[in-house]
Structure 1
Amino acid sequence: MEHRLPERARPRVHALVTPPRLATRAAALALFGAVAATLVAGVLGGLGRLGAAPALEAPWAGQALLAHAALMIGGFFGTVIGLERAVALRHPAAFAGPVASAAGALALLAGQAELGRALLWLASLAFCAANVAIVRRQRAAHTGLLLVAAGAWGVGNTLFALDGASGPVLPWWFAFLVLTIAAERLEMTRLSRRRPAALPAFTAIVVLLLAGAAASAWSPRDGGLLFGAALVALAGWLFIFDIARHTLRAAGLARYMAVCLLAGYAWLAVGGVAWAATAHGAATRDLALHALGLGFVFGMVMGHAPVILPALTRLKLQFGIAFYAPLAALHASLLWRFGAGFSDLARRAGGAQLNALALLWFALTVVGAIVVWRLRHGRADAARPGRRRA
């Protein structure tokens, strides 16, 4: 039998239930707003380093220039990946990590460097704890690697909190991003037959990558060579064993993701070669950092966003051919930046501006896809017979 509350009791129950929901939504909007602000500030900071950003009088603009890498890797990616883990765990405590990393990025922008570094360090500790919980739930090679990636971020943030210098920190930060993506792709390789030597070879590459990151602290030349070689080896492993080679022949979203992945692996190999060359004195630092950060990491973001964004925000989007346009723009702008701009700083700055426009184009494409989905499916729901009106 259905029990109905008296009419007088209903407003009281509504008053008890609604405020927490509103508070949760407000907190979520504030967190996503911080993530968006961090991304914009990080991109402007990177442009500012090349003299390609518009002149801004705001105090945070100078801080964005100084803390570009920390904002992008810790503030943006650390928060987004932390949110993904928290949603997977479905435990309120798991959100402590992304909240701390977002707050750390805002502190850096506010000129509170020590506070910002401390918050990023705390965020990585919480992130490690979340990944330990995931390993306990599912013991597998890919979840173990996710924990290793979290540990790499923790090591990098510890060094950053102690010193604030980016030199010995960057290999650990990039190891965090690269191994996180590699872990997700390792999980997908279970869908196809792996050769017996595939997993041992993958493990050896991970060990080499971590050894290169560690050695970079006291021997940048040798450590950089190991780190770059590991990146190239990982790109080769992914080209051979990832299912993207097979899904490239599919249609729709599966093909789009395969294109993003395979193009990203090419940039991973380029970044590895450039990283090793930089360690040996070549003028390829910009190529090493941004072939990885933009070509590989953001290429993966473009590929996975149509799947991850609905899981994080519950906002569905309508995938279409329009997603290929900003992807092509990103890779074309990178070719310009590293080709024509290799020895010409003005053209390199122009390439960086085109990189930023490609990212903006992708963001607008995602927003448009969300709007299109609502228009199409909203009309379908409205036309459905027997639909209850609010």
Structure 2
Amino acid sequence: MRLMSRYLLPLVLVSAIAGLVGGLGRLGLVSAPIQLSTHHGQLMAIAVLGALLSLERVSAIAKPYTLAGPLLFLLYILQAVLPLQWGNQVSVAAVGALVSTITIVQLFLRTKSPGLSAILVGFISLTVATILMSAGSPLFRVMPLLFTFPLLVVTGERIERSATIQRPWRRHQGTQSASARPVLIVSLFTAAFALAGFLYQSAQYLFGLPQLFLGFWLIVRDPIVKVGRRYGRFQRYSAVNMMLAYSWLAATGVLSLLSYTAFIPYQVRVHSFYLGFVGHAILAHAPIILPSLLGIPTLAYSKTLYIPTTLLTASLILRNHGAIAPNPTTLTIGGWGNLIVFILLVATILLHLRTKGKAME
């Protein structure tokens, strides 16, 4: 399984770069293939995140059939990249999401983990969204459901990693399965807001409520935000990125609520969520998750890891300013900055993998 992850993960990273190039193509900054620019949203929100987050989970079961989920997401990426008729290609991602959801169900039934209950609802939301798109629903209608996927997966992962978050529930509930109920209830309410946004387009702004709530709740409850900053190296690095991630999540909630009465460009809300919240969460977890998936030693710490962190928030602020003002110059700088962040992240990790490997020889 780990050997397969070594081959699949680089494909996911290459796909992410292709998706980012498609985003620059939508801005008119590069001459990207039309299929990349047209399907930039599906490629990043469904295929890349679906493959990355499902790949992380299948390693816990270590059964060959669980790789079908990530592989189907990668097939979906291939279909999006190649100049093929779009048609029902989203159905490939829907099957991949369904297979990945079944994998999460197996994990949840085995452990009854509170964190996995949130992750499960997140994957179910992705499955529902891709099925609806296969049936003809446009991307903007299912966007709240697509938001729910990484929102609950990241929340679930933080709960899994933070015993302090779980302790108040376990103290009152007594058992592992009982302590999962509050998390499951919050997750279902979040998914309900997302479904309401799909059924009633005018209610999409209400999805800002769970975003705002979870953003502030995680800032208060996640110990890495408070404790991690007192330590050095990766603990502080993770704390800084998760604090920024939660701040962007809460900001997205505020922007969504304001969009009911004020004009907030849709792309500002989308990029604040995916680049701000999800992007910083990926930066926080990358030094931990990537070595685990690749079966390699822990990354060597370096302060250069903070360069992508700083550039991500700075470039996103510029990009959002350029979209709201509107200001083509800051929009262009911000768009290029987003791509550079990802390239720097990959380059930094590869550099320190090499440094770590030489140190061990």
TM-score normalized with structure 1 length: 0.84
8 Å Cα contact 1:124/1:154 also seen in 2: yes
CA shift, 1:301, in A, is 0.5
Residue 319 of structure 1 pairs with residue 319 of structure 2: no
| Bigger Cα displacement from structure 2, 255-264 vs 138-147 | 138-147
Structure 1 172/250 Cα, relative in aligned 2: closer, same or farther at 3 Å?
same
Q: Distance in 2 between matches of 1:310 and 1:254?
A: 16
Name the counterpart of 1:32.
9
The size of the alignment, in residue pairs, is: 349
8 Å CA contact retained: 2:6, 2:294: no
Q: Which runs of 5+ in 2 are unaligned?
A: 173-178
Cα 1:91–1:161, aligned 2, differ >3 Å: closer, same or farther?
A: same
Deviations along 1:357-385, whole A, 9 cap, x unmatched? Answer: 1121111111111111111112xxxxxxx
Counterpart in the other structure of 2:101: 128
1:240 aligns with 2:220: yes
The aligned residue for residue 375 of structure 1 is 358
Q: Which residue of 1 aligns with 2:24?
A: 47
- Is residue 230–residue 236 contact of structure 2 (8 Å, CA) maintained in 1? yes
Deviates more, 1:176-185 or 1:343-352: 343-352
1:230 to 210, 224, 227: 210
- Given candidates 278, 290, 300, the residue that maps to 1:297 is 278
Identify the residue that residue 196 of structure 2 maps to in structure 1: 215
Report the alpha carbon displacement of residue 295 of structure 1 after superposing the two structures with TM.
Answer: 0.8
**TM-fit CA distance, 1:149:** 0.9
> 1 CA distance for matches of 2:236 and 2:163?
19
SS of equivalent residue, structure 1 residue 89: coil
Q: 3-state DSSP class of the match of 1:319?
A: coil
Q: Distance in 2 between matches of 1:203 and 1:125?
A: 19
Quote the Cα distance in structure 2 between the aligned partners of 1:90 and 1:30: 15
Q: What is the aligned counterpart of 2:341 among 347, 358, 361?
A: 358
- Given residue 339 of structure 1, which amino acid in structure 2 is its aligned partner? H
**What amino acid maps onto 1:263 in structure 2?**
L
- Check whether the contact 1:71–1:105 (CA below 8 A) recurs between aligned residues: yes
Name 1:63's counterpart in structure 2: 35
Alpha carbons of structure 1 residues 238 and 67: separation in structure 2 relative to 1, 3 Å: same
Residues 36/112 of structure 1: CA separation in 2 closer, same or farther (3 Å cut)? farther
Displacement after TM superposition at 1:129 (Å):
0.7
1:16 corresponds to: none
Question: Which letter does structure 2 place at the counterpart of 1:334?
Answer: L
Deviations 1:317-373 (A, max 9, x none): 212111011111111111222235531241212211111111211111111111111
Confirm or deny that 1:256 pairs with 2:228.
no
2: CA distance, partners of 1:86 / 1:199 = 21
Give the letter aligned to residue 46 of structure 1. G
1:285 aligns with 2:273: no
CA distance in 2, matches of 1:103, 1:192: 37
How far apart are 1:98 and its partner, in Å? 0.1
Contact 1:209 1:226 in 2 (8 A): no
Aligned to 2:318: 336
Q: Kindly indicate whether structure 1 or structure 2 has the higher relative contact order, using CA contacts under 8 Å at least 6 residues apart.
A: 2
CA contact (8 A) 2:118 2:184 kept: no
Gaps spanning 5+ residues in structure 1: where? 1-20, 379-390
Decide which moves more: 203-212 or 37-46: 203-212
CA distance in 2, matches of 1:308, 1:152: 23
Q: More deviation in 339-348 or 229-238?
A: 339-348
Q: How far off its partner does 1:305 sit?
A: 0.5
CA distance in 2, matches of 1:273, 1:201: 24
| Deviations 1:229-254 (CA, angstroms, capped at 9, x unpaired) | 11000001101111121222111111
Distance (whole Å) between structure 2 residues aligned to residue 143 and residue 322 of structure 1: 33
Measure the CA separation in 1 of the matches of 2:100 and 2:342: 27
> Following TM superposition, by how much is the alpha carbon of 1:281 offset from its aligned partner in structure 2, in angstroms?
5.5
**Match for residue 349 of structure 1?**
332
SS of residue paired to 1:305? helix
Deviation per CA, 1:104-146: give whole Å up to 9, x if none.
Answer: 1111222242353121011011011100110121012111221
Q: TM-score, normalised by structure 2?
A: 0.90
Q: Which structure features the higher share of helix residues? A: 2
Between 1:206-215 and 1:195-204, the stretch displaced more is 195-204
Give 1 or 2 for the bigger CA radius of gyration: 1
Q: 1:326 to 1:188 in 2, by over 3 A?
A: same
Aligned CA-pair RMSD: 2.3
CA distance in 2, matches of 1:80, 1:32: 7
